[in-house]
Amino acid sequence: MRTIGKFASLLAIIALAGTAALAGTWPEKPVEIVVPTSPGGDTDTNCRVFLKYLEKELGQSMPVVNMAGAAGTIGLNNVKQAKPDGYRALFYHSGALIAHIMEMMDYSIPEGFEVAGMPVIDKSNCFASNVKTPYNDIRELVAYAKAHPGEVSFGTESGSFTHLHILALAEASGADFNIVDAGTAAEKTTALLGGRIDVIGTQYALMKQYIDKGEVKCIGILSDQRLAGAENVTTFADSGYNLVFDKFFYMVFPKGTPKAIIDRFNAASKKVAENPDYIADCKKNFVNASYMTPDEAVQYINSQITLYKEYEKALTGQ
């Protein structure tokens, strides 16, 4: 029995040594990064900007694999089921927390993955309106919606981050909105520009070109502070609604990915977040370069889960 025990211990030591060797040389080939959205949206853009600098730190290419659909769960499940060898990871945002609350996925981000850090936070979440609508800020939108119950169409994607935003405003204001599943960020924008939707939840950077052309107006930022570079746009707090929702983006690997790989990735992410060029690129997109260790990111994600659960009844309809 002692011999068997010693043999088992030896095998365990060999396995650990193999894992350490693998982590020590990682990455030896391209690392695929799954983005559970269509190309061209804010998630895809933020990911590609981050990876441009991360590739230089790690010395390997990191090709993006877009997997849109089912409120991000197609891409999430793809990475969750991948081999935990450090060569497939996920870049995603707050929406997965909502999908979990709505039971579209049966695991939370900290439960289902190895969290590797949080490189960017977007404080520019906003409501954008067709220029022909008669309201110019959130206070006016609420007043109009109350005077015309169910007439204001709000475009979102069911189970998404912006779905939470309109439900939170409806609950806080008592206004009745016609919430419409208008698809992806690009599809929502097209519907707004075509006049098929009155208002959408989106990010300021995605709307800026249309705002500059006079095709769209931003009627409120989901924050308690004015957005740098768009100080003329009022916040929800300015209109009397203390609704603050930051869109945070994180990187995760499959559960069981060696800690040494996570540590190396995290160290490289820290260098990127401190790079002045990366910080400047983020500012151009109205987002903030940020850095959180894996432990800090998990704590932050869990705090946001607690916040979102305040709207569980509205999200689930139960």
- Read off the CATH number of the domain in which 283 is found: 3.40.190.150
| Stretch 172-186: mean pLDDT | 93
Instruction: Give pTM, 2 decimals.
Output: 0.86
Burial class (CB in 10 A: 0-12, 13-18, 19+), 211: middle
pLDDT for 288 beyond 60? yes
- Read off the CATH number of the domain in which 153 is found: 3.40.190.10
pLDDT for 19 beyond 70? no
- Rounded Cα distance between 142 and 146, Å, is 6
Cβ atoms of 124 and 46 closer than 8 Å: no
Residues 195 and 138 in one domain: yes
Q: Total structural domains in the chain? A: 2
pLDDT for 18 beyond 80? no
Residues 107 and 142 in one domain: no
Lowest mean pLDDT, pick from 21-35, 94-108, 111-125, 205-219: 21-35
Residues 130 and 94 in one domain: no
Residues 12 and 70 in one domain: yes
Of 239, 266, 290, the domain-final residue = 239
| Stretch 232-251: mean pLDDT | 95
Q: Which domain holds residue 166?
A: 125-239
pLDDT at site 183? 85
Q: Which residue has the higher pLDDT, 220 or 6?
A: 220
Cβ atoms of 180 and 197 closer than 8 Å: yes
Per residue in 121-174, pLDDT (tens digit) is 999 999 999 999 999 999 999 999 999 999 999 999 887 899 999 999 999 999
Residues 141 and 108 in one domain: no
Name the average pLDDT for the chain. Answer: 91
pLDDT at site 70? 83
Of 239, 267, 285, the domain-final residue = 239
Residues 10 and 116 in one domain: yes
Residues 97 and 8 in one domain: yes
Residues 116 and 129 in one domain: no
Cite the DSSP H helix spans in 102-178: 109-112, 138-147, 161-173
Residues 72 and 14 in one domain: yes
pLDDT at site 17? 47
Of 218, 239, 260, the domain-final residue = 239
